[in-house]
Amino acid sequence: MIEIIPAIDIIGGKCVRLSRGDYDQKKVYNDNPLEVARRFADVGCKRLHLVDLDGAASQHIVNYRILEMIATHTPLTIDFGGGLKSDEDVRIAFESGAKMITGGSIAVKNPMLFEHWIKAFGSERVILGADANHGKIVTMGWRETSQLEIVPFIRRYTELGIKKVISTDTECDGMLSGPSLESYRKILEEIPDVYLIASGGVSGMGDIEALGEINIPEVIVGKAIYEGRITLADIEKHNLLRKC
């Protein structure tokens, strides 16, 4: 049964969501990310997807203190991304409590460094971020579109040892319009062994069920939770069913 991974995106120490990655379309949902994380843990969530949007904009890790606070005061297993551009950034992330880190732009802009991370930290601790717009990989907070096609991009890194991939269709993210099922189907057909984590567009529990039906093992959910389309009670019920 598919696992729900709640997302917390951080700007200025607050829990926010963007629409299609646009910083000008920012909405603050809570001033206390730790409080939000605790609520997720209380309903049985095991994982958390934590994104440092200040870091992504600044090109270096910024909100590691919030990462440390959540890692220290909750049992959640955290994957952390945003602004990781150097060995020092990754070291800080792991020392602050991240169990996994996600690299997207770095895998495009500096593949040698990303390959070094896979070897140095282990493929179980490094997740590939493969965000795309109309099938082309996007970088730098989705402001730049590369010429890299998503399937060959993912395949290359799986051949280098990457186990898990988070893929976001940027046209869907934050829009509550449904996930990009066709894109995920294509990736799974082309690379059947990839552990593909869906992200973006989820509008309700029906979307999560649809992703499970195409054998997506995990889905990251943000705005649908914060807008009340998926309640904490829904997540708790889902998590209880996963235990059965």
**Could you give the residue numbers annotated as active site?**
9, 131
Looking up tokens 């990839």 gives: 194
At 68, is the secondary structure helix, strand, or coil?
helix
At 151, is the secondary structure helix, strand, or coil?
helix
Q: 52: burial class by Cβ within 10 Å (0-12, 13-18, 19+)?
A: buried
**Alpha-carbon span 119 to 208, nearest angstrom:** 33
**Alpha-carbon span 202 to 123, nearest angstrom:** 27
Instruction: Using the CB atoms, write b or e for 202-240: b if 16+ within 10 Å.
Output: bbebebbebbbebebebbbbbbbbbeebbebebbeebbe
CB 128 within 8 A of CB 107: yes
CA nearest neighbour of 157 among 184, 200, 126:
126
Token duo for residue 192: 């059947």
